[in-house]
Structure 1
Amino acid sequence: MMFPLVLELAADRKIPVAVTRRVLGFSKQAFFVWRENPVSSRDWDNAHRINAALAIHGDEPGFGYRFIA
């Protein structure tokens, strides 16, 4: 995603957010919406599912992917 890059460039190299977003071609509105909530609910849910699958596999490494899924 481009938004973390915008923050990194603004912090490290002092490149203004307005310039970076114009060059990369996205709206100011989209950037500020992302900044308010950088982790989407889908990303959050996926992370929990991955952690649950890894925990099952760690407890019982003999279980195959069909059981874990």
Structure 2
Amino acid sequence: MVALRLAIKQRKNKDLILIHHSDRGLQYCANEYQKVLSKNRIKPSMTQNADPYENAVSERINGILKQEFNIDKYNKDLPIMKQIIRNS
């Protein structure tokens, strides 16, 4: 929920409807999480069978960003994160 709230806080164009894609993990299905999505005009999207392989490309990209670029170690703005990735 912390990451979701941070993303909402940093969101620039609040008029656009966003899509939040996830597996069917309990935290994403929780009523409180779904209410935050709805309140902020974020449409939930989930894998069909809670199978992370259905989301393999996204999972791989996230893994590369975290493992190879240590992007999860920084609490920076998006432009700074993009620069970190480009310079790595």
TM-score, normalising length: structure 2:
0.28
Does 1 or 2 have the higher relative contact order (CA < 8 Å, sep 6+)?
2
Greater helix fraction, Structure 1 or Structure 2 = 1
| Higher gyration radius (CA) | 1
- Higher strand residue share: 2
